[in-house]
C-alpha cells in the first residue's frame, strides 16, 4: 500500500488490493529517504476502514507497507474510547488532546468545571485524526460517589465500551507549613479529593471494565495477551519523596500510588492494567497557583530540577498515551516517575 501525504491530505492507493480491514489511518512519526529519493516513514496505524483521512502534516511522503500480517508492528495505538477525568485543564486537557491526536475514536471529558470541559471538547476536535471522532463533556465531582457513578454510567451508555480511563483530577497544596502548624482543614480537603476521589473513580471504572469483553492487546501479536481496559491515575514525584512543609500534599500522593498499586493487583486477573504517572513540577495552572502562594517556591523549582526546567503538560500526556497503548501491555502497578531527575538525590 502506498500512502501519499500532500497539502494536508492523505490518499490511500491499494497496490495490490488489500482487504478493507488493513486499510489504515496512518500518522507519520518519522521519515527518512530510502536511497531512491522517496520519503519512507514509520507509522502509527489505526485500522478504520477505507477512504481518505486528514493529516495534520504538510509536505509529501511516500509510505510503503507490506500487506502480510507479520509486517505490522505493535504501535502506540489508542484508537478506542477514553474517559478523561479532570480533563478541563492542565495535565487532563493535554491528555484529551493527545488521545485526539493519536487516533482515539471518542472521548468523554469530565471536570468539576463543565464550561472548561465543553471548551476542551471543542479544542480536541481540531486535533483529532480519527475520521469519526467525537468528544462529549460531562460534569463530575470526584468526592461524590453518586456523581462519579453517574459519570461512568453515562460514558458507558455513550461509548459502549471504555478502553482507557485517565484520572487527572486533584488539588495542589495551598500553604507551606511544617507539621506543627499544618492546617487540618486543608489536609482533609486534599485527602478527600486526591485519595477518596481517586478511590471512587477506581472503584466505579473497575466495576465497569470487569464486565467488558476481553480483546487482544494487539491482533498482530497474540502473545501480548488480552485487555478489558487500561486505567491511569496521575500521582506525583511526591508519591515517592517528601518536601518540607507539604505534609498534606505528600500524604495524599503517597495514597494515590498505593491505591494504584493495590488496584493493579486486584484487577490483573481481569486483564485491566492500572498505572500511576508521577511527575514533579509541571507547567499547569495548579503549579502556577502554588508558586504564587508560596514565596520562594519558583526559585526552588528552578534550582532543584537537574534538567533545569519544569515539565510541559504534553510530556506527561505522552506518558499517559504510552501507558494506555499496547506498547505497555506488560506494565501494571507501576509508579512511573518523570521529574527531570529531581528525585535522584532523595532518599526513598
Residue 25 resides in a domain: yes
Residue 76 resides in a domain: no
Annotate 183-214 with b (16+ C-beta within 10 A) or e (fewer).
Answer: eeebbebbbebbbbbbbbbbebbbebbeebee
**Candidate from 32-36, 223-227, 342-346 with smallest mean pLDDT:** 32-36
Among 61, 249, 261, 270, the one annotated catalytic? 249
Q: Tell me, yes or no, whether 17 and 143 share the same domain.
A: no
Q: Tell me, yes or no, whether 65 and 87 share the same domain.
A: no
Residue 313 resides in a domain: yes
Q: Tell me, yes or no, whether 13 and 96 share the same domain.
A: no
Residue-number span of the structural domain to which 332 is assigned:
81-345
Tell whether the model's pLDDT for residue 211 goes beyond 70: yes
Q: Tell me, yes or no, whether 215 and 339 share the same domain.
A: yes
Q: Report which DSSP code applies to 275.
A: E
Does residue 104 contact residue 82 with C-beta atoms inside 8 Å? yes
Distances (CA, A) of 219 to 267, 275, 325: 22, 23, 13
Tell whether the model's pLDDT for residue 46 goes beyond 50: no
38, 71, 104 — which closes off a domain? 71
**Candidate from 70-79, 134-143, 226-235, 268-277 with smallest mean pLDDT:** 70-79
Q: Tell me, yes or no, whether 26 and 170 share the same domain.
A: no
More confident site: 54 or 132: 132
Residue 257 resides in a domain: yes
Q: What's the domain count of the chain?
A: 2
Q: Tell me, yes or no, whether 32 and 159 share the same domain.
A: no
Among 64, 253, 261, 330, the one annotated catalytic? 253
Average pLDDT estimate for 158-166: 98
Q: Tell me, yes or no, whether 239 and 336 share the same domain.
A: yes
Residue 300 resides in a domain: yes
Q: Tell me, yes or no, whether 152 and 27 share the same domain.
A: no
In this prediction, residue 301 carries a pLDDT of 80
Q: Tell me, yes or no, whether 43 and 127 share the same domain.
A: no
- Specify burial of residue 114 (Cβ count, 10 A radius: 0-12, 13-18, 19+): middle
Q: Tell me, yes or no, whether 33 and 161 share the same domain.
A: no
In this prediction, residue 348 carries a pLDDT of 52
A 10 A CB-CB count for 150 gives 16
Rounded Cα gap, residues 163 and 154, in angstroms: 15
Cell output for 180: 506543627
Distances (CA, A) of 316 to 24, 55, 116, 232: 27, 24, 20, 11
Give catalytic status of residue 253 as yes or no: yes
Q: Tell me, yes or no, whether 108 and 8 share the same domain.
A: no
Rounded Cα gap, residues 53 and 46, in angstroms: 11
More confident site: 12 or 301: 301
pLDDT in tens, 217-276: 998 899 999 999 999 999 998 899 888 888 899 999 999 999 999 999 999 999 999 999
% of the chain residues with pLDDT over 90: 63
In this prediction, residue 289 carries a pLDDT of 80
46, 71, 96 — which closes off a domain? 71
pTM of the predicted structure, to 2 decimals: 0.79
Rounded Cα gap, residues 159 and 45, in angstroms: 21
71, 97, 132 — which closes off a domain? 71
CATH number at 107 reads 3.40.50.720
Q: Tell me, yes or no, whether 29 and 103 share the same domain.
A: no
Amino acid at each position: 500500500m502506498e500512502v501519499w501525504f500532500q497539502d494536508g491530505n492523505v490518499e490511500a492507493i491499494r497496490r495490490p488490493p488489500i482487504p478493507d480491514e488493513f486499510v489504515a489511518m496512518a500518522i507519520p512519526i518519522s521519515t527518512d529517504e530510502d536511497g531512491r529519493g522517496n520519503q519512507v516513514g514509520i507509522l502509527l496505524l489505526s485500522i478504520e476502514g477505507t477512504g481518505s483521512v486528514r493529516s495534520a502534516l504538510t509536505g509529501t511522503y511516500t509510505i510503503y507497507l507490506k500487506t502480510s500480517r507479520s509486517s505490522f508492528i505493535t504501535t502506540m495505538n489508542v484508537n478506542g474510547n477514553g474517559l478523561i477525568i479532570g480533563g478541563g485543564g492542565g495535565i487532563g486537557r493535554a491528555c484529551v488532546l493527545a488521545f485526539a491526536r493519536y487516533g482515539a475514536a471518542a472521548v468523554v471529558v469530565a471536570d468539576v468545571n463543565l464550561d472548561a470541559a465543553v471548551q476542551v471538547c471543542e479544542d480536541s476536535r481540531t486535533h483529532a485524526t480519527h475520521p469519526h471522532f467525537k468528544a462529549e463533556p460531562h460534569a463530575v465531582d470526584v468526592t461524590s460517589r453518586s456523581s462519579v457513578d453517574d459519570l461512568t454510567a453515562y460514558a458507558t451508555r455513550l461509548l459502549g465500551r471504555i478502553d482507557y480511563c485517565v484520572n487527572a483530577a486533584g488539588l495542589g497544596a495551598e500553604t507551606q507549613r511544617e507539621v506543627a502548624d499544618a492546617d487540618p482543614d486543608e489536609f482533609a480537603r486534599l485527602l478527600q479529593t486526591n485519595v477518596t476521589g481517586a478511590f471512587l473513580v477506581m472503584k466505579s471504572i473497575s466495576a465497569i471494565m470487569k464486565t467488558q469483553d476481553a480483546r487482544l492487546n494487539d491482533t498482530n501479536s497474540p502473545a501480548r495477551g488480552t485487555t478489558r481496559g487500561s486505567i491511569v491515575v496521575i500521582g506525583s514525584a511526591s508519591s515517592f519523596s517528601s518536601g518540607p512543609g507539604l505534609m498534606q500534599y505528600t500524604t495524599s500522593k503517597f495514597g494515590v500510588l498505593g491505591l494504584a498499586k493495590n488496584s493493579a493487583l486486584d484487577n490483573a486477573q481481569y486483564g485491566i492494567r492500572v498505572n500511576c504517572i508521577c511527575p514533579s513540577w509541571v507547567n499547569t495552572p495548579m503549579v502556577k497557583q502554588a508558586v504564587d502562594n508560596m514565596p520562594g517556591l519558583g526559585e526552588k523549582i528552578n534550582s532543584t530540577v537537574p534538567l533545569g526546567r519544569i515539565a510541559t503538560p504534553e510530556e506527561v500526556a505522552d506518558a499517559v498515551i504510552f501507558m494506555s497503548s499496547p506498547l505497555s501491555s506488560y506494565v501494571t502497578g507501576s509508579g512511573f516517575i518523570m521529574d527531570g531527575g529531581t528525585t535522584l538525590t532523595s532518599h526513598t
